[in-house]
Amino acid sequence: MEGLKHMLDSFLVPEIAVEANGESAPVELGEHAGKLLRLTLAITKIVEQQSLDVSVWGSADGAEWGAKPLVAFPQKFYNGVYQLLLDLNSHPDVRFLKAKWVVNRWGVGDLKPRFTFLLKMEEQASTVAAR
């Protein structure tokens, strides 16, 4: 179709298994800076009595990430698919994104947390076309 622009559809975090806190590699937004993004967190494996906190951070240069995230998912305890919108219009200087995660486990037995999850980002159309 004529007039369609390339829409962002990629992974901020490809599916990984984690047992400790961590962060993704920075992803350069390029032409998608300043756009509306839908973030999809999919938790595919989890054990009981643990929590996962995932946040998304922005940077103008890929080096300085500021003191707080652009957006954070509410704390998660279960398998599932969760979505948030991130409007980069209100963060015009952001050229890079990365994810950070914090894991916690409590109870008896092995106290090492274990999650398998992914974080996808997709550009959302800012207006809905008339049909």
pTM score of the predicted model: 0.87
Domain count, the chain: 1
State the Cα–Cα distance between residues 53 and 130, nearest whole angstrom: 38
Considering the domain boundaries, does residue 64 fall inside one? yes
25 falls within a domain: no
C-beta separation of 119 from 99 below 8 A? yes
β-bridge partners, 84: 39
15-58 tens-digit pLDDT: 999 999 999 999 999 999 999 999 999 999 988 889 999 999 99
Range(s) of the domain holding residue 92: 31-120
- Strands 36-46 and 115-124, how do they pair? antiparallel
Torsion sign (Cα): 63, 67, 71, 76: positive
